Amino acid sequence: MHRRVITFSRNAFLPLTTVCVNRCGYCCFRTPVREGCIMPPDEAIRTLEASAALGCTEALFTFGERPGGVSGFAEMLGRLGYADILDYVYDLSLAAIERGLLPHTNAGILTYAELDRLREVNASMGLMLETTADVAAHRDSPGKDPAVRIEMIENAGKLSIPFTTGILVGIGETMEDREESFGVIRDLHARFGHIQEVIVQNFCPKPGTPMEDTPVPDTEEFCATITLAREVLPADVAVQIPPNLADAGYLVGCGVDDLGGVSPLTIDYVNPEHPWPQIEELRKVAGDAELRERLCIYPQYIKKGWYSPLLEPLIRQLAERIAAPGGGRGA
């Protein structure tokens, strides 16, 4: 009998801007346009270099959706010499590659053409579906319209982009809504084969947000949701939980395959009150399973060649490094 494997990625988390056109009822990440709302290039480069020195393989670029639609942002970005945040992330992706890190971008809603362009410099990309339900938490967030998000995930499939999506548990949806969301993801993967992992993320109430007093699903309900994901999704799609947000040691037994990206350097800027577990802690979470480091592009997509020529040398180099005995730096 084969020993069960639990995977993780070692990453650097770079929040390029906290400005966002959406106003989700649970978010503490979003800020107004103000000094410091854009990560300066020199800080981003320092983070990339320090993370590479610590053995990271992934540069996770994330930022608010369509920040250029917020008054005053374009002028502030212009001071850095950019007209569009996507030009900025493109250049930083090149900088990450030069320093030995594979870019993975979560940019919110992107068009087909924008996805196609970023595919040149990203090993994988992502967008949380969150839910197919119409929930009050998304009332002021046009980008959270399920149809809009499903269309982008579909476009990523048409472009053969290794993709991460997932749901947010506890924002007003029912268990039936969660099953529907998993079903939509399953059907998209059946058509395009591009969903490499599905994150099942528990909502964490944030002080000062409209949903700060919202009750959260208990561990048993969250476990049942993870089990449902594993039942609905095909075997080649990993079910992931963020190990810093819940009782990961218990939840691994509910059907978890992957513990996501953890950083030895940067915090979880979306959930700053929850520090990342480090490798020894992840090993404890994995229990009797083998803890195995992976890249942000899963092995099956490396085999398929689902990456741009620009990325091939680095993907091959990093895949060999983490596969070598002791190559995963303690994994």
* pLDDT by 10s per residue, the chain, length 331: 677 999 999 999 999 998 988 788 777 777 888 988 999 999 999 999 999 999 999 999 999 889 999 999 999 999 999 999 999 999 999 999 999 999 999 999 999 999 999 999 999 999 999 999 998 877 878 888 999 999 999 999 999 999 999 999 988 899 999 999 999 999 999 999 999 999 999 877 777 877 778 888 899 999 999 999 999 999 999 999 988 878 889 999 999 999 998 888 876 666 666 677 888 889 998 999 999 999 999 999 999 999 999 999 999 999 999 998 766 544 3
Torsion of CA 88, 242, 211, 30, to 10 degrees: -10
DSSP 185-233: HHHHHHHH--EEEEEEEE----TTSTTTT-----HHHHHHHHHHHHHHS
- Report the residue count for the chain: 331
pTM: 0.93
Output helix, strand, coil percentages for the chain, rounded to the nearest 5: 40, 15, 45
Q: What residue spans define the domains of the chain?
A: 5-323
Contact 285, 259 (CB under 8 A): yes
Q: Regarding the domain with residue range 5-323, which homologous superfamily does it belong to in the CATH classification?
A: Aldolase class I (3.20.20.70)
Contact 63, 16 (CB under 8 A): yes
Q: How many Cα atoms occupy the beta-carbon half-sphere of 33 within 13 Å?
A: 13
Query: Rounded CA gap, 305 and 150, in Å?
Result: 24
